[in-house]
Structures are given as C-alpha cells and as structure tokens.
C-alpha cells in the first residue's frame, strides 16, 4: 500500500477525570490514501474529534493522554516525533478547520496578519510577498473584494465568510492532509453547500486528502469516498460510501441512516427511532458491545464479549456478531 | 387568505427593531426583521417555517406569542385580535400558547429541579396546588416519557434530549392549544432528533395541538409539517402544502434552498442538479429594492430590480411571490 498517506493504528486516547478512566478513543484504526476524502461519522462524544486532535498531538494533558497506538503519516510515527517536528508538521503538512470560526480566529488581529503569520513562519515569505499570497488565498475561497477586505477584522465577516478564511488559512501551506472537524455545523444550508463545494474543488485542484468529521449523513453522502462510523470510541463499521448507505451491516449504522427524514422519498408517518442514549464512556464495561443496550437485535453474546471489526465485503468491515444475518433481521422487522 | 377554521392568523405583520447611534442614542434606521407577513394556521395543523438565519422566522414566532409589541399588522388567535392586548388579558391569552426553545441547556433554569420547571406555569397561573399539583407534574413528565421520580433532579443531571423533554413538559403544563417550536431539534444528535420529532408528533395527535414549527433543516420540516412557508429577508416567498413544496417548488429561492440540502444517499444525491447561491443574505436594515432576492437570483430581470412582487395565489393552496411565476 504505497499510496497510504495516513495510517492510524490501534489509537487509544484516554482522559482521567473524577469519574475515573474515560476511554474517548479506544483502539481506533483507519487509513487515508493520497487525495482521498474520508468521513469520520458519529454522534457527540463518540470520540471523532478527539481522534483528530490526537493526530495533531493537541490533546490537553492533563487530563488527556494518548496511551497507545501509532499514527503513521508520510512514513513517520507522529506519536514518536519531537515537539519541534510535530510543530513543523502541524499547519504545514496537516491543517485543520474547526467547527466554530468565531472562536478559532483571533478577534484582535486583522485577517491579513493572521494569514501572513502562517505564511512567514511556515513558508518563509517576506511581508509583501505574504500579503500578496494572503489576497490570492482569499480570492481562491471566494471572498469578494479581497484586496480591501484583507485589512478587516474577523467580526466584520459573516459566519460563512469567517469559515472561508479558516479554509484559506488551512490551505496556505499546501497541506497534504486537511482535517475538517464539523466544518459546516454552525452555518446555513446554502452556505454549507458553498463551503463544501469550495473544499471539494480545492481538494481536486491540489490533491490534498481530506478527513471530514461530521454527524451529517447528507454531507457524507455527497462528498466522502470512504466512511468510518464511530460509536463510543471505536469503529463499528467502515466501507466505501455507496456500500455503507446501500448495504450497511451494523445495526447502529442502519438505525442512523433510517432515523433521518429524507427529501427524496415520500413522507412517512413515523421515523425509525434508536431507543436510549449513548453510553457514559467512563462507566462503559470493556467486555460488552457498547451498542448492545440500545440494539434490538442484541443476543446474549453481545453482553459477554466485545466484537472486533471483521471483513464483511470488499473493503467493508463491521464490528457486530450478527453482521452476516443483520440485513435479513432488519427486513423481517 | 382567511378561513373560518384558522386558529392563528397573521395579517401584514411587521416587526422593526430600531438601530440606535450617536450620543443621544437616536434612531438612525430600522432592522426590518419581519416586513409584511401574512399567513394562517388551521386548527390541528402544523405549519413549518424555514429560511436562513436572520430571515425573521424566530421573530415571526415571537410576535404571534406577543413576546414583542409588534410594529404593525394584526395577529388573531381563535378569531380574536390579540395584537394590542396587554396586562391581565394578555396573560390570560398566553395560557393558550406556548414556546419550545432551541437550546434546552440554556432555556432551563439550572437552579430549579425538573419538577419545579415543569410545574411552575401551573403555580404562576394559580391553577392547582398541593397533591393535585404533584400529580399533574408527574403526569406531564410521563407524557414526555420521563419517569416522575426524576422530578427532583436538576437540569445538568439530564442529557440534551432529556432536557428538551423537560422543556416540552413545561410547555404542555397549561394545556395550550398552540405551540411555537423554535428549532426544537437543531441542537440534538441525530438519533435523539428522531426521538424528539416522534414525541412531538405523538403529542400533537393525542392533545390535538397546533404547531408553528420553525427550523432550518428542510428534511425535518417537511417530515413534520402539513404546510410549509419559506421566508427570505423578512418576507414569505412561498407557502404551500408540504409535499407540493418539495415536488413542485416555484420560487427560485425555494429551489436553491432545497437543492442545497444533501440527501443521505450517495447514489441519489450525486445525480441531483445543484443550484449554488452566491453571496450572503443582504442586511435587513437596507434590503435591496424590488424583489429582496434579486441580487442572488440567477433568473433576475429588470422588473425584479424595480418592483416588489406580491404573494400570489396560483391555485391548489400554493402561494408564490415571484414576478416570473405566472398562474
């Protein structure tokens, strides 16, 4: 597998809180190829953001600590490189776009200063060249009147425009990997469509790989090549996008897909409802399937053993003891 | 557009907020949050209200509940003009209408227990006390599928979905006829959204409620609503039956809005035609002349830049405000 850009192997990130050991990410493995768009899907607190922060080595310690695993990026294990080296990789080779542009941009610096800072630091440009480059980047992400607006402060931009600035900043060093953590959750659907289109075009233009972290199954369906579904800190299913939506094999994935209303289908009277709540990670026993308390197909084995990912098709994996028969079970009701 | 069965009716509603500036805080302009909106909601119906942030959908809901003193226009509830009610008569009217908020974390008082939050409206309106009060609180919690023994817990001890259930229980306490649901599921996880939507639909059947359902998620709105109104910059641009809006949208803005929503199925979604809107929503202080949507509309013609379109009835309960749509 020569074209693997990133390989996360058995990543475990734990937090030590009052309640005890909280296993936010507990044995996560996945990979990203060059130029690929990979989705990390799941609900709040399933560990999707923590896994991304682990790649960037941005887990606050204490209380968080990466207790095990490997993160192989461009041939090097990011968990073993020095602080100096990771700082060079961060922003330069791997960039991140966060959910809330308002809190991620510095309110007291102009957009110009925030963009040129990165360009001077990572790409060694002098000030005038950096300013020209900043304007070019803003044009690239579709900010009108970029020459003038580069002098504005973040609050003078709308939420959608701020997120464009974040994308421009992330792309300023031509990263080979862009991690977008819920990039469109706080914006309107029309702006969401614009932003995703910009990111997708830039990906095609520059060949960067993208990890989209989201709970929005529509966004995943539209842009992602390969989907990883997370639940309680672990992968429950992984596969090419068409397969995950067409023939899902884990009851959580099936429930998730069926619980959102769809614009393209006739209105139904009822939605499928996954009962109960996501588990408290600090109290979750290691020896059961974390989804079993909410799963209508659970058998006694699910309460006794934790299922591992198993291959169920071409490049398609599911962590469920009943993944072979699950489709018949669902159809039978 | 009046009908006899309308529970709520709004006629040419306007809500302007003053923009103050200078040493003496004098008024320099108006934010025209709602600028001439008319619609009705039939008894037992759910009307969806969609639009981008800042389009005035929340303000419209709050005007109906008379949480604001409206600038102009009329609001009728059960045929009675409530636009100018105040004091005791407004307080009595409010028993019939309630509000469910978006963020259950912020809308519940962290120092009150779930039971007190749920039962407070009963005490404020002096309806019951003592044993009967406790029974009613327990009954309300059961209605939203919470256990009555949870009444002694505080909001932080509940999950987001459970907190939203408490918000719903409180809204139901006075047995209202009409509830404004303002983005009730936007802050929740996907699996919890389905639970709350299902709960709201069940309660509506059981208690014969009428909803104004405000949300930006079009798939959710379509699922729950009988009719849907699309708002843009303080005005309604299209209003029709839920299925009709999705099968046969006529206003260019509705079309763009619908095509922006990704469908959670890669095979279907990647074949759809997409209309990308350019730019942002203009400022409601100085809305563009003519049709408010024309600067972002790919079909705009001279007439759109000069004349403001009217909301026209094109038959089949379908109303559109666009110069280019004819009967």
Kindly determine whether residue A160 and residue B277, on different chains, have CB atoms separated by under 8 Å: no
Closest approach of chain A CAs to the CA of B270, in angstroms? 6
Interface membership of A144 toward B (CB under 8 Å):
yes
Question: Which pLDDT value is given to residue A17?
Answer: 86
Q: What is the pLDDT confidence band of residue A263, given thresholds at 50, 70 and 90?
A: confident
Query: Which chain B residue's Cα is nearest to A158?
Result: B280
The DSSP 8-state label assigned to residue B310 in this structure reads P
The C-alpha R_g of chain A, in whole angstroms, comes to 21
Query: Which chain B residue's Cα is nearest to A245?
Result: B265
Query: Which chain B residue's Cα is nearest to A253?
Result: B191
Kindly determine whether residue A222 and residue B269, on different chains, have CB atoms separated by under 8 Å: yes
Position B1 pLDDT exceeds 70? no
Interface membership of A274 toward B (CB under 8 Å):
yes
Query: Which chain A residue's Cα is nearest to B262?
Result: A218
Interface membership of A261 toward B (CB under 8 Å):
yes
User: What stretches of chain B show up as alpha helix (H) in DSSP?
Assistant: 57-64, 87-94, 104-107, 114-124, 130-143, 160-172, 190-207, 218-224, 242-247, 252-260, 266-269, 302-306
**Nearest-5° angle of CA A38, CA A44, CA A48?**
35
CA A67 to chain centre: 21
Residues of A in contact with B280 (CB under 8 A): 158, 160-161, 191
Question: Which pLDDT value is given to residue A1?
Answer: 46
The C-alpha R_g of chain B, in whole angstroms, comes to 21
Distance CA A144, CA B112 (A): 49
Lay out the sheet containing A20-33: strands in order across: A20-33, A4-17, A64-73, A76-77
- Mean of per-residue pLDDT scores for chain A: 90
Position A254 pLDDT exceeds 90? yes
Position B242 pLDDT exceeds 90? yes
Tell me the average pLDDT across B275-286.
81
Query: CA nearest B63: which of B55, B73, B53?
Result: B73
**Nearest-5° angle of CA A48, CA B167, CA B99?**
115
Kindly determine whether residue B262 and residue A144, on different chains, have CB atoms separated by under 8 Å: no
What values do phi and psi take at A161, rounded to 5? -70, -40
DSSP A251-270: HHHHHHHHTS--TTSPPPS-
Q: Give the A window 12-71 contacts with B, CB below 8 Å.
A: 43-44
Distance CA B157, CA B145 (A): 16
Distance CA B214, CA B199 (A): 16
Beta strands in A209-294 (DSSP E): 209-214, 226-231, 234-240
Residues of B in contact with A197 (CB under 8 A): 276
Question: Which pLDDT value is given to residue B4?
Answer: 57
Tell me the average pLDDT across A116-139.
91
Interface membership of A163 toward B (CB under 8 Å):
no
Kindly determine whether residue A161 and residue B192, on different chains, have CB atoms separated by under 8 Å: no
Residue of B162, B217, B276 lying closest to A197 (CB–CB): B276
Q: What is the pLDDT confidence band of residue B308, given thresholds at 50, 70 and 90?
A: very high
Kindly determine whether residue A259 and residue B280, on different chains, have CB atoms separated by under 8 Å: no
Tell me the percentage of chain A whose pLDDT exceeds 90: 54
pLDDT digits (tens, 9 = 90+) for B147-166: 999 999 999 999 889 999 99
Tell me the average pLDDT across B17-45.
90
Residues of B in contact with A241 (CB under 8 A): 266
Query: Which chain A residue's Cα is nearest to B246?
Result: A263
Position A221 pLDDT exceeds 60? yes
Residues of B in contact with A49 (CB under 8 A): none
Question: Which pLDDT value is given to residue B327?
Answer: 55
Query: Which chain A residue's Cα is nearest to B226?
Result: A267
Residue of B192, B268, B278 lying closest to A264 (CB–CB): B268
Which of residues B274 and B92 earns the better pLDDT score? B92
Query: Which chain A residue's Cα is nearest to B265?
Result: A221
Best of B52, B58, B189 to substitute, by most chain A Cβ atoms within 10 angstroms, is: B189
Residues of A in contact with B194 (CB under 8 A): 259-260, 271-274
Q: Judge whether A183 and A104 are in contact, CB under 8 Å.
A: no
pLDDT digits (tens, 9 = 90+) for A163-209: 889 989 988 888 999 999 988 877 888 888 888 888 888 888 888 99
Position A136 pLDDT exceeds 50? yes
Interface membership of A332 toward B (CB under 8 Å):
no
Distance CA B107, CA B101 (A): 7
Residues of B in contact with A261 (CB under 8 A): 197, 219-220, 222-223
User: Please, is B282 exposed, middle or buried when counting C-beta atoms within 10 Å of its C-beta (0-12, 13-18, 19+)?
Assistant: middle
The DSSP 8-state label assigned to residue A307 in this structure reads P
Kindly determine whether residue A262 and residue B269, on different chains, have CB atoms separated by under 8 Å: no
- Mean of per-residue pLDDT scores for chain B: 91
Q: Which pTM was predicted?
A: 0.88
Interface membership of A222 toward B (CB under 8 Å):
yes
Residue of A43, A144, A217 lying closest to B264 (CB–CB): A217
Pairing assessment for the beta strands A4-17 and A20-33 based on DSSP bridges: antiparallel
Burial A297-319 (b: 16+ CB within 10 A, else e): bbeeebeeebbebeebeeebbbb
Question: Which pLDDT value is given to residue B162?
Answer: 93
Distance CA B25, CA A280 (A): 51
Q: Judge whether A224 and A38 are in contact, CB under 8 Å.
A: yes
Question: Which pLDDT value is given to residue A231?
Answer: 94
Question: Which pLDDT value is given to residue A207?
Answer: 87
């Amino acid at each position: 597998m020569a074209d693997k850009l990133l390989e996360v192997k058995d990543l475990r990130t734990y937090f030590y809180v009052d309640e005890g050991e909280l296993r936010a990410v507990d044995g996560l493995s996945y990979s990203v190829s060059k130029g690929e768009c990979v989705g990390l899907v799941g609900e709040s607190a399933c560990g999707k953001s923590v896994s991304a922060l682990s790649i960037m080595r941005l887990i606050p310690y204490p209380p968080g600590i990466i207790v095990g695993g490997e993160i192989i990026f461009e041939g090097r294990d990011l968990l073993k490189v020095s602080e100096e080296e990771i700082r060079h990789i961060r922003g330069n080779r791997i960039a991140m776009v966060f959910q809330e542009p308002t809190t991620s941009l510095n309110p007291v610096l102009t957009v110009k200063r925030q963009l040129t800072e990165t360009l001077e630091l990572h790409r060694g440009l002098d000030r005038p060249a950096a300013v020209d480059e900043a304007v070019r980047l803003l044009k690239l992400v579709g900010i009108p009147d970029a020459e003038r607006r580069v002098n504005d402060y973040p609050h003078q931009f709308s939420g959608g425009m701020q997120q464009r600035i974040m994308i421009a900043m992330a792309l300023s060093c031509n990263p080979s990997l862009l991690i977008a953590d819920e990039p469109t959750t706080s914006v309107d659907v029309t702006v969401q469509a614009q932003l995703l289109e910009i990111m997708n075009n830039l990906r095609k233009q520059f060949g960067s790989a993208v990890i989209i972290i989201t709970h929005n199954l529509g966004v995943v369906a539209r842009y992602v090549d390969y989907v990883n579904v997370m639940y309680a800190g672990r992968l429950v299913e992984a596969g090419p996008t068409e397969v995950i939506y067409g023939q899902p094999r884990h009851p959580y994935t099936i429930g998730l897909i069926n619980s959102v209303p769809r614009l393209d289908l006739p209105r139904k009277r009822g939605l499928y409802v996954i009962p109960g709540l996501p588990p408290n990670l600090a109290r979750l026993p290691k020896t059961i399937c974390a989804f079993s308390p909410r799963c209508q197909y659970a058998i006694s084995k699910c309460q006794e053993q934790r299922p591992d990912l198993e291959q169920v098709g071409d490049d398609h994996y599911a962590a469920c003891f009943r993944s072979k028969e699950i489709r018949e079970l669902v159809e039978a009701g | 557009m009046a009908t006899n069965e309308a529970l709520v009716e709004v006629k040419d509603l306007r809500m302007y907020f003053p923009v103050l500036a200078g040493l003496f805080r004098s008024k320099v302009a108006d934010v025209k949050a709602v600028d001439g909106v008319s619609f009705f909601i039939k008894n037992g119906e759910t009307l969806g209200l969609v639009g981008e942030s800042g389009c005035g959908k929340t303000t419209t809901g709050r005007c109906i509940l008379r949480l604001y003193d409206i600038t102009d226009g009329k609001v009728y509830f059960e045929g009675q003009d409530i636009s100018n009610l105040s004091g005791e008569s407004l307080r009595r009217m409010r028993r019939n209408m309630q509000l469910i908020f978006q963020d259950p974390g912020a809308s519940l008082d962290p120092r009150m227990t779930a039971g007190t939050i749920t039962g407070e409206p009963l005490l404020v309106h002096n309806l019951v006390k003592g044993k009967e009060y406790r029974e009613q609180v327990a009954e309300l919690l059961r209605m939203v599928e919470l256990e009555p023994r949870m009444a002694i817990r505080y909001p932080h001890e509940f999950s987001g979905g459970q907190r939203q259930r408490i918000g719903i229980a409180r809204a139901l306490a006075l047995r209202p006829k009409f509830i404004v649901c303002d983005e009730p599921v936007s802050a929740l996880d996907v699996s919890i959204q389905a639970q709350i939507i299902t709960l709201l639909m069940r309660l509506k059947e059981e208690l014969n409620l009428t909803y104004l359902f405000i949300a930006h998620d079009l798939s959710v709105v379509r699922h729950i609503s009988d009719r849907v109104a699309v708002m843009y910059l303080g005005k309604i641009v299209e209003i029709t039956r839920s299925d009709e809006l999705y099968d046969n949208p006529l206003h260019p803005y509705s079309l763009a809005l619908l095509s922006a929503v990704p469908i959670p199925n890669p095979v279907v979604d990647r074949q759809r035609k997409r209309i990308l809107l350019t730019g942002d929503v203009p400022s409601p202080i100085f809305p563009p002349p003519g049709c408010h949507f024309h600067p972002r509309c790919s079909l705009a013609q001279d007439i759109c830049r000069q004349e403001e379109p009217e909301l026209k009835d094109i038959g089949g309960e379908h109303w559109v405000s666009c110069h280019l749509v004819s009967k």
